[in-house]
């Protein structure tokens, strides 16, 4: 049964499964009734605060979950923030998204207090997630409680969890995949959601909670597999937010768990298609989604229940991708003879990293070019990590010295970026970067320069 | 504890976590991201092991700022009990 908002979902579960385990965090647990009562109590506090827009520096804890649901019930707009950003990124993000109250690490909240705004009007129901781009131009995707609830139904109807299942969430709630496929999916199905206890416990949480299902990004899955940290009782591994290298996929399958791969976007409140069979790359489109392909193979999606309202305060950016209810994804795909969707590439200049984050190349390369005073450069992936290729005229300088000098020049810029997005190596080439007739970099030829 | 001892323990921990990695050439100003093949998950693993080794806790918010071996040593030194 579909739900209209978070309160609708939690109230329904509290009435139908009052004594069933809803949430676990460490040694503490909440039934669905206890969870709803805690959310209602928190909602009273937020309603009394007079605030309008809660910035959630999400740490994935039970208090975080209860607080965000409580604030949503009280009518506050939610802004899901990555708690691991460089400190200097937050003031701009708070101003952009009209945050007037914060939840999170007390020290960080105190530091950011001077940057709180006057708030927002008519923000009730909105839940903002940032697209995983470089932070200086991160766009906030305006989803709603309704779209997120519909998304949980949409994916859950294809890949349901049983009420006896325990879904372990190790993913950040500030990322829509973590929020929907690590939290909402579990609650919607009436399962128990076990919240990971933080990065220090990544290798222990499966053994501690004994989940039957887990949602992961490829980087984390590889880490857990290498550490042999997955519990034998695991029945389902849902991989999303990025391409998964074949060795990791194979190793996951060898655990005996069912492995399902998900394709989705922040702009569609997460899931669009899920693999349900043996081929992880052959995906069934979720029931609410209508997927068509443009002439060049770009995936176009119509999903009125789950699509974003738009990019927050960015009407031009919204209009560029959302026309007459159809979202242009920038991803390329094809349908096979069974009508299953395969992702074949990316049209946009975006690199998707194995931790699920994305690099918007034109913007990132612009920043690198400014830092080096040289526009002749391009970012590529090598072994899943971002590397920089720079064209310079041939010289007598020792290549290793030149590489070191360039990395040093980039150091101030790198310090402002999340670790996974930092340039890990520089290749200097006397060869011109391969370009099309219109001057665009031929990214598929860059690997030959590495 | 002497600084050199801290640096050596960091290098030993890296080597234990990544046996195939050559750590002898790493110095204080070695940038972890660019001079090693340690990705973000590997970094988490190393920090957790160092925390256990030195019996300290480095707040996760600070992990983002740890670029070089020297930065990691600073974070450890700052949290060791004063002699």
The ipTM estimated for the assembled molecules is 0.86
Question: Is A355 near chain B, with CB under 8 Å?
Answer: yes
The values of phi and psi at residue A356, to 5°, are 90, -10
Residues A414-430 pLDDT 10s: 988 888 889 999 999 98
In this predicted structure, the answer to whether residue B82 has a pLDDT above a threshold of 80 is no
Contact yes or no for A411 and B31 at CB 8 A: yes
What residue ranges do the domains of chain A occupy? 6-346, 357-449
Of the ranges A21-30, A60-69, B27-36, which one carries the lowest mean pLDDT score? Answer: B27-36
d(CA B3, CA A100) in angstroms, rounded, equals 44
Q: Least CB-CB distance to A219: which of B41, B45, B65?
A: B41
For domain A6-346, the CATH class is alpha beta
CA count, 13 A, side-chain hemisphere, A55: 32
List, for residues A267-287, the tens digit of each pLDDT value.
999 989 999 998 988 999 999
Which of A199, A368, A406 to substitute to test the interface with B, most B CBs within 10 Å?
A: A199
Give me A154's structure tokens. Answer: 């949409």
Q: Which of A80, A76, A89 lies closest to A119, judged by CA?
A: A76
Please write the tens of the pLDDT for every residue from B18-37. Answer: 888 888 888 888 888 777 77
> Does the CB of A220 have a partner CB in chain B at under 8 Å?
yes
Using a CB–CB cut-off of 8 Å, the residues of B that contact A are 31, 33-34, 37, 39-45, 48, 51, 59-61, 63-65, 67
pLDDT of residue A335: 97
pLDDT tens per residue across span B46-76: 999 999 999 999 988 888 888 889 999 999 9
- Best to test chain A binding among B17, B33, B35 (most A CBs inside 10 Å): B33
Helix axes B3-17, B69-79, angle to 10 degrees: 120
Q: CB-side exposure of A74: number of CA atoms within 13 Å?
A: 25
Q: Is A165 on the interface with B (CB under 8 A)?
A: no
Which residues are paired to A213 by β-bridges?
A: A167, A236
Provide CB contacts within 8 A for A279, sequence distance 6+.
A340
3-state SS, residue A25? strand
Task: Please write the tens of the pLDDT for every residue from A203-252.
Answer: 999 999 999 999 999 989 999 999 999 999 999 999 987 778 888 999 99
Of A108, A200, A415, the CB nearest to B48: A200
On the CB side of A10, CA atoms within 13 Å amount to 26
Q: What is the mean pLDDT of residues A24-39?
A: 98
Q: Is 70 exceeded by the pLDDT of residue A136?
A: no
Rounded percentage of chain A residues whose pLDDT exceeds 70 = 98
Q: Among all residues of chain A, which has the CA nearest to that of B47? A: A200
Q: What's the first-to-final CA gap in chain B, in angstroms?
A: 8
The CATH code belonging to domain B3-79 is 1.10.1200.10
Residue A180 tokens read as 């929907």
Q: What is the pLDDT of residue A39?
A: 98
CB pairs under 8 A between A and B: 60
Q: Are A56 and A70 in contact (CB under 8 A)?
A: no
Which pLDDT value is given to residue A132?
Answer: 65
What local confidence, expressed as pLDDT, does residue A133 receive?
57
Is A420 close to B34, i.e. CB distance below 8 A?
no
Would you call B41 and A407 a contact, using CB atoms and an 8 Å cutoff?
A: no
- CA–CA separation, A223 and B32 (whole Å): 18
Strand A283-285 versus strand A298-302 pairing type = unpaired
Q: What is the pLDDT of residues A296-307, one digit of tens each?
A: 999 999 999 999
Using 50, 70 and 90 to split pLDDT, how confident is the model at A137? low
**What's the pTM value of the predicted model, to 2 decimals?**
0.88
Given a cut of 80, whether residue A443 has pLDDT beyond it is yes
What superfamily in CATH does domain A357-449 come from? ANL, C-terminal domain (3.30.300.30)
DSSP states along A176-223: HHHHIIIIIHHHHTT-EEEEP--GGGHHHHHHHH--SEEEE-HHHHHH
- Residue A185 scores a pLDDT above 90: yes
Whether A411 has its CB under 8 Å from any CB of chain B: the answer is yes
Q: How many CB atoms lie within 10 A of CB A443?
A: 17
Question: Cα–Cα distance between A26 and A19 in angstroms, integer?
Answer: 19
Least Cα separation, residue B19 to chain A (angstroms): 14
The alpha carbon of residue B82 is apart from the nearest alpha carbon of chain A, in Å, by 24
What average pLDDT does chain A have? Answer: 93
What stretches of A74-199 show up as alpha helix (H) in DSSP? 90-97, 106-112, 145-158, 176-179, 185-188
**pLDDT value at residue A303:** 97
Distance from the Cα of B54 to chain A's closest Cα (Å) equals 15
pLDDT of residue A358: 82
pLDDT at position B81 is 86
Name which of B40, B51, B59 is nearest A419 (Cβ-Cβ).
B40
């Amino acid at each position: 049964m579909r739900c209209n908002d978070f309160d609708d979902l939690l109230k329904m579960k509290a009435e139908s499964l009052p004594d069933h385990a809803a949430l676990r965090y460490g040694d503490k647990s909440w039934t669905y009734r206890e969870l709803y009562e805690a959310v209602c109590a928190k909602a009273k506090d937020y309603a009394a605060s007079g605030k309008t827009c809660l910035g959630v520096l999400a740490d994935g804890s039970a208090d975080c979950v209860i607080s965000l649901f409580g604030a949503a019930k009280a009518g506050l707009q939610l802004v899901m923030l990555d708690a691991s950003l460089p400190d200097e990124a937050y003031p701009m993000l708070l101003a952009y998204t009209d945050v007037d109250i914060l939840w999170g690490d007390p020290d960080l909240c105190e530091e950011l207090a001077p940057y709180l705004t006057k708030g927002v009007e008519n923000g009730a129901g909105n839940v903002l997630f940032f697209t995983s781009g470089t932070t200086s131009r991160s766009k906030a995707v305006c989803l709603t409680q309704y779209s997120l609830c519909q998304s949980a139904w949409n994916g859950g109807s294809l890949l349901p969890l049983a009420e006896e299942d325990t879904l372990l969430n190790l993913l950040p709630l500030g990322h829509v995949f973590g929020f929907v496929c690590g939290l909402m999916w579990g609650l919607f199905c009436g399962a128990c959601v076990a919240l990971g206890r933080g990065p220090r416990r990544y290798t222990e949480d499966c053994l501690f909670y004994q989940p039957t299902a887990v949602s992961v990004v490829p980087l984390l899955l590889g880490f857990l597999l290498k550490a042999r940290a997955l519990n034998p009782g695991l029945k389902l591994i849902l991989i999303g937010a990025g391409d998964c290298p074949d060795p990791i996929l194979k190793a996951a399958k060898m655990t005996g768990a069912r492995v399902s791969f998900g394709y989705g976007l922040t702009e569609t409140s997460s899931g669009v298609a899920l693999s349900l069979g043996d081929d992880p790359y052959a995906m069934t489109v979720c029931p609410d989604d209508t997927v068509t392909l443009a002439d060049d193979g770009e995936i176009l999606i119509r999903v009125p229940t789950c699509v974003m309202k738009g990019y927050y305060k960015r009407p031009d950016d919204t209009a560029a991708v959302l026309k007459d209810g159809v979202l242009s994804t920038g991803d390329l795909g094809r349908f096979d003879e069974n009508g299953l969707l395969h992702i074949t590439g990316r049209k946009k200049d975006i690199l998707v990293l194995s931790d699920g984050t994305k690099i918007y190349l034109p913007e990132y390369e612009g920043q690198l070019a400014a830092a080096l005073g040289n526009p002749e450069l391009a970012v590529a992936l090598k072994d899943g990590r971002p590397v920089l290729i720079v064209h310079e005229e041939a010289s007598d300088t020792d290549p290793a010295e030149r590489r070191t000098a360039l990395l040093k020049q980039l150091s101030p810029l790198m310090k402002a970026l999340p670790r996974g997005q930092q340039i890990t190596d520089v290749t200097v080439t006397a060869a011109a970067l391969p370009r099309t007739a219109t001057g665009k970099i031929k990214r598929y030829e860059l690997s030959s320069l590495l | 504890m002497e600084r050199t001892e801290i640096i050596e323990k960091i290098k030993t921990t890296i080597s234990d976590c990544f046996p195939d990695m050559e750590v002898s050439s790493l110095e204080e100003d070695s940038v972890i991201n660019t001079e090693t093949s340690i990705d973000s998950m590997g970094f988490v693993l190393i920090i957790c092991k160092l925390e256990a080794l030195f019996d300290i806790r480095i707040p996760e918010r600070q992990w983002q700022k740890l670029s070089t071996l020297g930065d990691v040593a600073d974070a450890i030194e700052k949290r060791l009990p004063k002699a």
